[in-house]
Amino acid sequence: MNTRKILFTLSVISVGVFTACRDESLYPLPYNDRETGAYLRLVRQTSNVIDVNNLAGSGLDAVFEFVDASNAENLQDVQFFARNRRGGVQGAEVLVTTVDASAFQPVPEPTYSVYKRANVRITAPQTSTALGLGSFLAGDVVTYRSVIRLKDGRTFTNTNASSDLIGGQFYSSSFVYTLTAVALTAGSWVGTYSLTQNAIWSPNHSAELHALAYPANLNTVLFPNQTVTLSIPANGLSTERQFQVSYRGQNVTMRINLENGTVFVPLQNTGVDCTAEREIYWVTPTGGSFPGTASLPAGLPRASTPNRGTYTTSQTGLVAGQAMTLGVDDDADEYGRRNGYCTWTRRVRLTLTKL
């Protein structure tokens, strides 16, 4: 198999100062006849876990964007392989499923991508059957690997977990996706909860700029105090919860995922306009903590807990007073980049307490 791991050739020429348009004869490199590759951008991953108490409702669920020069015209299919690690024993990799090129479709507005996307779900039973396992056990680690196959016979994948393609805001194209098997109590964390906004700040500017320009917004209430009802979404994963919430004066749906003590917020479009052509997206905050250093302006939240939300795995969330925290970055773009789609990205901490 002719497997390639170098995906795109990018040529850049800098001549003097930047100007708008130039005669192409000044740039003699043959751009159009160069061979280009392809990669699979991970736009949204719903969950990082498999629920061993509900395998039928678990698995890899993600939105992938296929990127190449032909806009998927040269795509044949995408294969997904998997292998399982139990303790120190690593199993063999097997083919689980193949996604045909027809599954990749143009993205409607307000997303501005010119590339095609597909929502791919590979269930836990589908995976365990392919692996020849009776079932998954808590602590198992399942690693999926995608392989792009083009009509011209070329393939693109990643067999090196330390590849430079892993991570990064532009590529986000590791070709490798890892899920851990955990046990979630069936029917937990559902019903009515009070929702309170505890803190809000902007992580993408300095303390000096914050002190100069942001204090007026420190008390901004994006989520007023309210009562919400958590439920498992229809056709969703067993680890998912959704609820209707009043946000920026509108009633919208938020979906979260319970990740073995962490509350994860998959990338999602709020449906709330911030300009005539763009809408606001939510995404889980990056790793780290709300700042608690004395050098930051007064009024900023002082907490050492992670930016991501948390819940107690020994609790069911069905007893009055039990609570989870929820961290969400407000105003990312459709790739999850926190560059301030319409305003500064705002990091919000919420608390949901069982009534």
Q: Going along 52-154, which residue ranges are E strands?
A: 59-68, 75-86, 89-90, 94-100, 105-106, 116-123, 141-150
pLDDT at 304: 61
Predicted model pTM: 0.82
| Predicted confidence band of residue 207 (pLDDT cuts 50, 70, 90) | low
Does the pLDDT at position 30 exceed 60? Answer: no
Which residues have CB under 8 Å from 351's CB, separation 6+? 195, 196, 198, 323, 324, 325, 326
Residue-wise pLDDT for 230-244, tens only, equals 999 999 999 999 999
pLDDT at 169: 41
Give the H/E segment covering residue 326.
Answer: strand 323-332
β-bridge mates for residue 241, sequence order: 256
Residue-wise pLDDT for 276-333, tens only, equals 888 999 999 877 666 544 455 555 555 566 778 999 999 999 999 999 999 999 888 8
Residue-wise pLDDT for 111-125, tens only, equals 778 899 999 999 999
Average pLDDT value over all residues in the chain: 82
pLDDT at 345: 81
- Helix, strand, coil content of the chain in percent (nearest 5): 10, 40, 50
> Is there a contact between 120 and 58 (Cβ–Cβ < 8 Å)?
no
pLDDT at 53: 93
Task: Give the distance, in angstroms, between the CA of residue 237 and the centroid of all CA atoms in the same chain.
Answer: 15
Q: What domains can be seen in the chain, in order of their start residue?
A: 3-8+36-182 (2.60.40.2550), 191-354 (no CATH)
Lowest mean pLDDT among 82-86, 149-153, 165-169, 226-230: 165-169
Residue-wise pLDDT for 32-86, tens only, equals 566 677 889 999 999 999 999 999 999 999 999 999 888 888 999 999 999 999 9
